[in-house]
Chains A and B, each alone.
Chain A
Amino acid sequence: MADALLSPAIGGIMWAASAAAVARSSRKIQQELDGNRIPLMGMLAAFVFTAQMINFSIPGTGSSGHLGGGLLLAILLGPDAALLATASVLVIQALFFADGGLLALGCNIFNLGFLPAFVAYPLVFRPLATGKAGQLPRALAVLLGAVVGLQLGAFGVVVETVLSGRTALTFRAFLLAMQPIHLAIGLVEGVVTLSLLAFLQKARLELPRPTEQADTAGRATVALGLLTLLLGGWVAWYASKHPDGLEWAIQRVTGQSELQGTASGWHGRLARVQATTAVLPDYQFKGSQEGSHAVTSLSGVMGGAMTLVLVAGAGWILHLRKRRA
């Protein structure tokens, strides 16, 4: 998920949702604060962060894959610590590598952190993982957990993108593109998670166990999160041809389709000035019926070029002043 695909309304909602989840998990971790767990969380997060950059080849396909780590962290740390660890990885990625961006951070924490740790882990992995580690039922639980986690994450991306209305992709087309790809990615994730867990089992590494407890408030949060997502998907199905939420809201509030409409008084006054300054009078190009919505003419192109020259000029002046200082 990236800033460029998001509208502020959707980005803001997801920020609020993720902030609430992170705050809740932080509180729980702080309460059970056990000296060894905090550096363990940091270390495992750094491990996932590094392992994500190690690509390996997938036999028979010619493509390569890498670890995502959401389910692995949930299994090793428990959901609350896993959410914090994943979220910290995403924060560092957004800040350092500009992956995603600041506004998209809320979406990314929700899709890659919350959904695997609080939906796939408790609702898919835990009930199925009955046998001992290294046995078939547990292996299947890991595979299925990884697949479900990634399917949900992909679905989240589709819903958030379509509701934001920044791409021309329809809900159906984007959904049909994303889910099958993430089925494959989910299987790879499951296999890799499994092989890592098997290795840790063989090495008999004793990681401090997360305290397991039935958590009704957690269940409620999960149900609420899923409901939101499904509702969002349902709305997206209908709204995919609409403008985005904020524009829609502006339309409802002001009765106008664009904010620029409020500057029309200015336009009138400037029209007179324009007649005297115009280099190319009457040299107009036809806009379309949706003209008010788009950049309509040569003006936009010329003005845009001038803006870039101005920005570059401002930059140059700053640069010179800084050198003199």
Chain B
Amino acid sequence: MVNLGDRFRDLGRMDALGSQESALHRLDPRAKVLVTAAFALVVSSFGRYEVSGLLPFALFPVSLAILGEVPWGYLLKRIGLALPFMLVLGALNPVLDREVLLHVGPLAITGGWLSSFSMVLKLVLTVASAVVLVATTGVDGVCQALERLGLPQVFVVQIGFLHRYTFVLAEEAVRMLRARELRSNGHGLTHREFGPLAGHLLLRTWDRAQRIHQAMLARGFDGNFHMLRRSSFGPRDLLFLFAWCAIFLLLRIVNFPMLMGSLVSGGG
């Protein structure tokens, strides 16, 4: 189960990235959450066959990844993990939609190819923006933003607990799976074994979660997570929010790749 351990190492890495220091990290989490939401909204508003109009939107994740010092390899890996599902779904489009929509030289491009390319492009853009958001804000930051944007407090505390207990559980799970693997002589895990295995995991974690909760209560936990970096929404955050929203709107209304393309090729 290298897979499981790997995934949780990624989780830890994301937290480490989120607690770095940069101008972008210091922005109010609310500004970053809102801009990322606006980005997803605008990107998904493009029609089924749109490809060229989507390309300039790469500017957002690319520039934020650089400013926020998100490692490229990490970003690409995350996108790569999300791709297969969309590739399978997108692969059907060229078969189903064979209407030729445009010609590039001798190549006839069908609507199916355009729409599946558009889907993959949207996936890459939205995944990249989500990764950059968490890598520059951290889960605690995002939770704080969600709470201050009006999400119910119980729900935000729930997300916080999930995030914390996940590390407790992952450790136990990896240990149990390794122990099983070493004794199983190469046999895979069957559904019969899954019940008791997962059940034991639940029992162990339940015990630990109770101890942790008692310890938290003993230290004065009152149902709130308190943040060290409690920022206020300043002019810089407002500028960040409005500048990016203006850019998104401009890119949505004016198709710059087509404009530039027609400037050099003379075609409409």
Q: Which A residues are closer than 8 A to B by beta carbons?
A: 2-8, 11-12, 22-23, 26-27, 29-30, 33, 35-36, 38-47, 49-51, 53-59, 64-65, 67, 84-85, 87-89, 91-92, 94-99, 101-103, 165-170, 173, 188, 191-192, 194-196, 198-200, 203, 205, 207, 243-244, 246-247, 258-260, 262-263, 266-267, 270, 273-275, 277-288, 290-291, 293-304, 306-308, 310-312, 314-315, 318-319, 322
B241 interface residue per 8 A CB criterion: no
B185 interface residue per 8 A CB criterion: no
CA distance A199 to B198 in the complex (A): 9
Please pick, from A198, A199, A273, the residue contacting B263 in the complex, using a CB distance under 8 A.
Answer: A273
Please pick, from B40, B82, B86, B154, the residue contacting A30 in the complex, using a CB distance under 8 A.
Answer: B154
Whether B261 and A195, one on each chain, are in contact in the complex, defined by CB atoms closer than 8 angstroms, is no
Please pick, from A85, A196, A299, A314, the residue contacting B262 in the complex, using a CB distance under 8 A.
Answer: A299
CA distance A306 to B159 in the complex (A): 42
Asked, given contacts A205-B203, A290-B101, whether A281 binds B266 with beta carbons under 8 Å apart, the answer is yes
Q: Which B residues are closer than 8 A to A by beta carbons?
A: 1, 3-4, 7, 10-11, 14, 36-37, 40-45, 47-52, 55-56, 58-59, 62-63, 66-67, 69, 78-79, 81-82, 85-86, 89-90, 92-93, 96-97, 99-105, 111-112, 114-115, 118-123, 126-127, 130-131, 133-134, 139, 142, 151-155, 157-166, 168-170, 173, 177, 188-203, 205-206, 209-210, 212-213, 217, 223, 252-268
Please pick, from B40, B114, B119, B142, the residue contacting A295 in the complex, using a CB distance under 8 A.
Answer: B114
Contact partners of A275 in chain B: CB under 8 A: 266
Contact partners of B7 in chain A: CB under 8 A: 53, 97
Asked, given contacts A97-B81, A101-B127, A307-B56, whether A165 binds B206 with beta carbons under 8 Å apart, the answer is no
B145 → chain A closest CB, angstroms: 11
CA distance A14 to B102 in the complex (A): 35
Asked, given contacts A43-B209, A173-B96, whether A297 binds B268 with beta carbons under 8 Å apart, the answer is yes
Please pick, from A27, A33, A169, A297, the residue contacting B267 in the complex, using a CB distance under 8 A.
Answer: A297
Whether B50 and A11, one on each chain, are in contact in the complex, defined by CB atoms closer than 8 angstroms, is no
Whether A196 and B198, one on each chain, are in contact in the complex, defined by CB atoms closer than 8 angstroms, is yes
Asked, given contacts A42-B209, A92-B159, A173-B96, whether A286 binds B48 with beta carbons under 8 Å apart, the answer is no
CA distance A196 to B253 in the complex (A): 53
CA distance A42 to B221 in the complex (A): 15
CA distance A303 to B254 in the complex (A): 13
What are 10 inter-chain pairs, A to B, with CB distance below 8 A? A259-B252, A259-B253, A262-B253, A284-B268, A293-B47, A300-B51, A304-B51, A307-B55, A315-B63, A322-B66
B197 → chain A closest CB, angstroms: 8
A139 → chain B closest CB, angstroms: 13
Whether A55 and B165, one on each chain, are in contact in the complex, defined by CB atoms closer than 8 angstroms, is no
Contact partners of B255 in chain A: CB under 8 A: 260, 303
Contact partners of B59 in chain A: CB under 8 A: 311, 314
Whether B82 and A98, one on each chain, are in contact in the complex, defined by CB atoms closer than 8 angstroms, is yes
Whether A96 and B41, one on each chain, are in contact in the complex, defined by CB atoms closer than 8 angstroms, is no
Contact partners of B104 in chain A: CB under 8 A: 285, 297-298, 301
CB closest chain-B residue, reference A288: B101
Total of A-B residue pairs, C-beta within 8 Å: 408
CB closest chain-A residue, reference B45: A8
Asked, given contacts A30-B152, A59-B190, A297-B268, whether A2 binds B115 with beta carbons under 8 Å apart, the answer is no
* Max chain A C-beta neighbours (<10 A), residue from B121, B160, B198: B198
> How would you classify the secondary structure of chain A's contact residues: helix, strand, loop or mixed?
helix
Contact partners of A282 in chain B: CB under 8 A: 266
Please pick, from B170, B198, B252, B268, the residue contacting A299 in the complex, using a CB distance under 8 A.
Answer: B268
CB closest chain-A residue, reference B1: A54
Contact partners of A277 in chain B: CB under 8 A: 263-264
Please pick, from A50, A57, A102, A290, the residue contacting B169 in the complex, using a CB distance under 8 A.
Answer: A50
Whether A47 and B205, one on each chain, are in contact in the complex, defined by CB atoms closer than 8 angstroms, is yes
Contact partners of B154 in chain A: CB under 8 A: 26, 29-30, 33, 38, 84
Please pick, from A2, A47, A246, A274, the residue contacting B202 in the complex, using a CB distance under 8 A.
Answer: A47
Whether B44 and A198, one on each chain, are in contact in the complex, defined by CB atoms closer than 8 angstroms, is no
Whether B163 and A270, one on each chain, are in contact in the complex, defined by CB atoms closer than 8 angstroms, is no
Whether A4 and B44, one on each chain, are in contact in the complex, defined by CB atoms closer than 8 angstroms, is yes
B107 → chain A closest CB, angstroms: 10
Contact partners of A51 in chain B: CB under 8 A: 173, 198, 201
Whether A299 and B96, one on each chain, are in contact in the complex, defined by CB atoms closer than 8 angstroms, is no
Whether A199 and B191, one on each chain, are in contact in the complex, defined by CB atoms closer than 8 angstroms, is no
CA distance A161 to B50 in the complex (A): 17
Asked, given contacts A50-B173, A199-B199, whether A283 binds B139 with beta carbons under 8 Å apart, the answer is no
Please pick, from B52, B111, B153, B199, the residue contacting A196 in the complex, using a CB distance under 8 A.
Answer: B199
* Max chain B C-beta neighbours (<10 A), residue from A99, A287, A307: A307
CA distance A33 to B121 in the complex (A): 45
CB closest chain-A residue, reference B62: A315
Please pick, from A3, A26, A192, A293, the residue contacting B194 in the complex, using a CB distance under 8 A.
Answer: A192
CA distance A24 to B170 in the complex (A): 31
Whether A288 and B202, one on each chain, are in contact in the complex, defined by CB atoms closer than 8 angstroms, is no
Whether A283 and B223, one on each chain, are in contact in the complex, defined by CB atoms closer than 8 angstroms, is no
Contact partners of A30 in chain B: CB under 8 A: 152-154
Whether A192 and B195, one on each chain, are in contact in the complex, defined by CB atoms closer than 8 angstroms, is yes
* 6 nearest CB pairs, A to B: A42-B161, A195-B195, A303-B261, A278-B266, A199-B199, A26-B152
CA distance A56 to B188 in the complex (A): 7
Contact partners of B48 in chain A: CB under 8 A: 165-168, 243-244
